[in-house]
Amino acid sequence: MLSLCFLPARAAVPSARLVCVRAASGQPAAGRTDDPQFRPLDIGRRREVVQQARERRRATLPPPRHERQPVNQQWGDVWPAPRTFHPDAVPLPLRQGFVKRPNAQAPPGKHANAELMKIANFLHLTPPVIERQCRALAKFCTPWPEGLTDERLDELRPLEVITQDFLHASPTLRHPDARVVSLKVPLSCLDLTETDRDKLLRLVGDRHDPKTDVITLTADRCPLRRQNRDYALYLLTVLYFESCKREPWEAELRTVADAEKFVWAGSASEAAVAPLGAAADVVNSYGEAVTRLHNEGEDESTLAEYRKAVVALLGLPEHVGAN
């Protein structure tokens, strides 16, 4: 009974159901102007309202930087140093990313593209910038001496010192190979006799490259590069001095049976030929033929040469033994 007194008159107010229907049909302005007392209840975020709010917010922002940049700007001033990719600063329509259907879909654009931001960009190193920076650095460079050809360099500076430097991202600055020093010495620059050279090659072993006739000495036993370099030079000095020395027991070591190559002078073959009393050049040619036969092995050419030399030595007619 009491509640009936507070009920408004039905005729004055439009029914609640009618109001709701009007709101759902999407005429908020009409609904508002229709009844200033009772605005339609709008709980949900309706798409139009949200979009309008977003557009209003976007309109208040200035346009992105790449639309405001002049066409004749210096790109080196815009991007002077390495920097993470920023889409609004770069006036390029870039796309990067994976798509499942490349024929139907375009790769993702540059805005909010994590792949484009992760990868290192070279926007700070465009060709004009590189040229400008190199022009500024050129005064710290010195030219290669004129007239210093490779041959001249081998004459004047035969020693080659090889060192390594490392640049990497790591918890530690140090690299174990940075202290290693290699020394390359061509044997032609050292004053060596035959026996000296033989002794040096035996001492050095497989550090000698027979093709280039270069010895490579690698030092890594010391903790510092400077120490390893000094040790390598010391090693070279010791090798050279030792190969020039002659120990008393070395004379007994090298008998004829130990020789790697046949030597005509002082051999039993020479002693056997001497009593024949042939001319010196005939004996020499026979000596050369025997040397070749021993050192190079039996071959068509070596055997033919030996036959020719023997025929000349013994004074036999030409057709003897000829095939």
Give me the residues that bind another protein (CB under 8 A), please. Answer: 82, 119-120, 122, 125, 127, 130-131, 133-135, 137-138, 140-145, 148, 150, 153, 156-169, 185, 189-191, 224-226, 233, 236-237, 240-241, 244-245
- Minimum CB separation of residue 212 from another protein in Å reads 14
Tokens representing 316?
Answer: 């036999």
Q: Which is nearer to another protein, 6 or 241 (CB)?
A: 241
Picking from 2, 46, 8, 5, the residue whose alpha carbon sits closest to that of residue 28 is 46
> What's the min distance (Å) between Cβ of 231 and another protein?
14
Nearer CB in complex with another protein: 133/284? 133
DSSP letter for each residue of 49-78: HHHHHHHHHHHHSPPPHHHHS-TT--HHHH
Minimum CB separation from another protein for residue 222, in Å? 12
Minimum CB distance to another protein, residue 217 (Å): 13
Shortest CB 255 distance to another protein, Å: 26
Complex with another protein: residue 52 or 237, whichever CB lies closer = 237
Kindly give, in sequence order, each residue whose CB lies less than 8 Å from that of residue 196, ignoring residues fewer than 6 positions away.
243, 244
Place of tokens 């020499």: 284
User: Judged by CB, which is closer to another protein: 48, or 191?
Assistant: 191
Sequence-ordered alpha helix ranges (H) in 7-126 = 16-24, 28-34, 47-60, 65-68, 75-78, 114-118
Closest to another protein by CB, 189 vs 256, is 189
CA distances from 169 to 144, 166, 173, 289 (A): 33, 10, 8, 66
